Amino acid sequence: MHETVSQNSNPARKTSICTLFEGDYHLGLAALVNSLVHAGYAGTVWVGYRGALPPWLEQLKWLDAQGAEYMVADQIRLVFLPVETNIHFTSYKPQFMLDLFANQASDCGYIWYFDPDIFVRCAWSFFANWQRYGIALCQEIANNILPDNSPLRYQWMEIAAGMGLGTPRALNYYLNGGMVGVSAEHTEFLHLWKRFIQVGQAAGANINQIVSGTREMPFAILDQDAMNMAAMYTQHPLTTMGPDAMGFVPAGFAMFHSTGPKPWRGSLLLRALAGTPPSSAFKFFFTQVESPIRVYSPWRLRAKRLACKIAAFIGRFYRRG
């Protein structure tokens, strides 16, 4: 039997947000944090990082002389934690969240993870309400419909049976690994996720990259396939939204997830002339990089916004496919 949903889990305990970044993903991180400020989130954002810290930190109020803690708009405490791992950050997510629950965020009742190419669109109060219902997840757009009797799920069930796991819950959709919300009471889900990643690695999946093979393989996308297996076998309640939640299809309102090419990379105009105009996520990104964290100079931001408008106009007449 799966656990029933509690609508009052940890009502007096804190909620935190976390993410992982390296390299030029500091630009996406800034847009994520700015979007959280605009959404009304107030609290801590834990940032695991590898390599250099963001160049825009000099704009922020430094809180801790012994560490990398900063204040954003007097409402978000931004804490940077160096991560010592060689694996791809996508496969490090469950371990990072488990470490936070056990150490820095041990007083938290719920932690949200967002990839640093996700930007929040709606009021944070929606997420605060959503987390009352269990483990928060969003459906993918690719392979969105994945029946409970699909051959891929049968492969997963055979693997899980060999691990001594019992009967899974029936799921008919495939979940995106870019966002997850988990309560302190439901960390068994994170342990399962981590365990399935380890099993996939032992089976030959490459833990140092996102894609490890073609879709007929049980661990083609190691972290995401492992997370979907954890969703099947956790005993805790799930609360999911469709692909619209990440802006993968129209009519969404919660987030934009800029998968594939990143809005801060390459030429918007050249991409449009090649038949790929800026997505809604791209357009939204350029509304989230001015305040309170500024990642472009005023003239450069104006140029990028103008290029985005021209590229979108080109896309009205010329689009690949």
**Distance between CA atoms of residues 48 and 45, nearest Å:** 10
* Residue 305 amino acid letter: R
71 and 22: one domain? yes
Domain count, the chain: 2
Q: 252 lies in a domain?
A: no
- b/e sequence 34-64, b meaning 16+ C-beta within 10 Å: bbbbbbebeebbbbbbeeeebebeeebeeee
Ranges of residues in the chain with a pLDDT under 50 are 1, 6-11
167 and 286: one domain? no
Q: 78 lies in a domain?
A: yes
Task: Provide the sign of the torsion angle of the four alpha carbons 79, 28, 84, 57, taken in this order.
Answer: negative
**Distance between CA atoms of residues 45 and 36, nearest Å:** 10
Q: 258 lies in a domain?
A: no
* pTM for the structure as a whole: 0.94
Of 219, 246, 273, which residue constitutes the final position of a domain? 246
Q: What is the pLDDT of residue 212?
A: 84
Q: 240 lies in a domain?
A: yes
19 and 153: one domain? yes
Q: 251 lies in a domain?
A: no
200 and 241: one domain? yes
Q: Can you give the residue range of the structural domain that contains 278?
A: 265-315
Residue 239: beta bridge partners?
136
Q: 40 lies in a domain?
A: yes
144 and 219: one domain? yes
Nearest to 135 by CA among 236, 41, 45: 236
Question: Residue 150 burial (CB < 10 Å; 0-12/13-18/19+)?
Answer: middle
**Distance between CA atoms of residues 41 and 21, nearest Å:** 20
86 and 229: one domain? yes
274 and 241: one domain? no
Structural tokens at position 75? 């409402």
Nearest to 282 by CA among 26, 31, 56, 1: 31
Of 246, 275, 306, which residue constitutes the final position of a domain? 246
Q: What is the pLDDT of residue 3?
A: 56
Report whether 287 contacts 38 (CB < 8 A). no
**Distance between CA atoms of residues 237 and 224, nearest Å:** 19
Structural tokens at position 177? 């690994």
Q: What is the pLDDT of residue 2?
A: 59
Question: Residue 184 burial (CB < 10 Å; 0-12/13-18/19+)?
Answer: middle
183 and 277: one domain? no
DSSP 52: S
Cα separations (Å) of 287 from 60, 71, 81, 168? Answer: 20, 21, 27, 42
CATH code: domain of residue 207: 3.90.550.10
Cβ count near 140 (within 10 Å): 24
Q: 2 lies in a domain?
A: no
Q: What is the pLDDT of residue 7?
A: 44
46 and 163: one domain? yes
Report whether 182 contacts 212 (CB < 8 A). no
241 and 279: one domain? no
Q: 259 lies in a domain?
A: no
Of 192, 218, 246, which residue constitutes the final position of a domain? 246
**Predicted confidence (pLDDT) per residue in 254-304, tens digit:** 999 999 899 999 999 999 999 999 999 999 999 999 999 999 999 999 999
197 and 308: one domain? no
The DSSP result for 74-108, as a single string, is TTEEEEEEE----S-GGGTHHHHHHHHHHTTTTTE
Cβ count near 213 (within 10 Å): 14
54 and 169: one domain? yes
Cα separations (Å) of 84 from 193, 215, 223? Answer: 20, 30, 18
Q: What is the pLDDT of residue 8?
A: 42
